[in-house]
A = this chain, B = another copy of it.
Amino acid sequence: MKIITLTTDFGDTDWFVGAMKGVILNIQPRVVIVDITHGIPAGDIRAGAFALAASWQYFPRKSIHLAVVDPGVGSPRPAIAVQTRDSIFVGPDNGLLSWALRNEPVQGIRRLENEELFLHPVSRTFHGRDVFAPVAARLSKGMSFNNLGPEQKEFVQLPWPKPRRTGNQAEGEVLYIDRFGNAITNLDEALLDGLDQAACRIFLRGKSVAPLQHFYQEVPTGRAIGLVSSSGFLEIAINEGSAAKALKLKIGDPISVHA
Interface residues of A, Cβ cutoff 8 Å to B: 1, 3, 5, 7, 10-23, 25-26, 29-30, 32, 34-40, 42-43, 51-52, 54-56, 58-60, 63, 71-75, 123-126, 129-130, 178-180, 214-218, 227-230, 235, 239-240
Contacts of A230 in B (CB 8 A): 123, 125-126, 129-130
- Residues from chain B with a CB closer than 8 A to the CB of A26 are 58-60
In the bound complex, residues from chain B placing their C-beta under 8 Å from that of A18 are 5, 7, 34-37, 51, 55, 58
Question: Is A58 within 8 A of B179, CB to CB?
Answer: no
- Copies of this chain in its oligomeric complex: 3
**10 A-B pairs with the lowest CB-CB distances in the bound complex, closest first:** A74-B215, A13-B39, A126-B230, A18-B36, A22-B58, A11-B179, A15-B55, A22-B59, A123-B230, A124-B215
A125 x B71 contact (CB < 8 A): no
- Alpha-carbon distance between A56 and B14 when the two chains are bound, in angstroms: 13
A39 to chain B: which residues have CB within 8 Å? 11-14
Q: How far is the CA of A162 from the CA of B47 in the complex (A)?
A: 41
Q: Complex: how many Å from CA A15 to CA B178?
A: 9
B179 touches A13 (CB 8 A): yes
> Contacts A39-B11, A58-B129, A129-B58: A215 and B29 contacting too (C-beta < 8 A)?
no
Chain B residues within an 8 Å CB radius of A74:
214-217
Q: Is the CB of A30 within 8 A of B1?
A: yes
CB contacts (< 8 Å) of A240 on chain B: these are 43, 71
Q: Nearest Cβ in chain B — how far from A73, in angstroms?
A: 7
A88 CB → nearest B CB, Å: 15
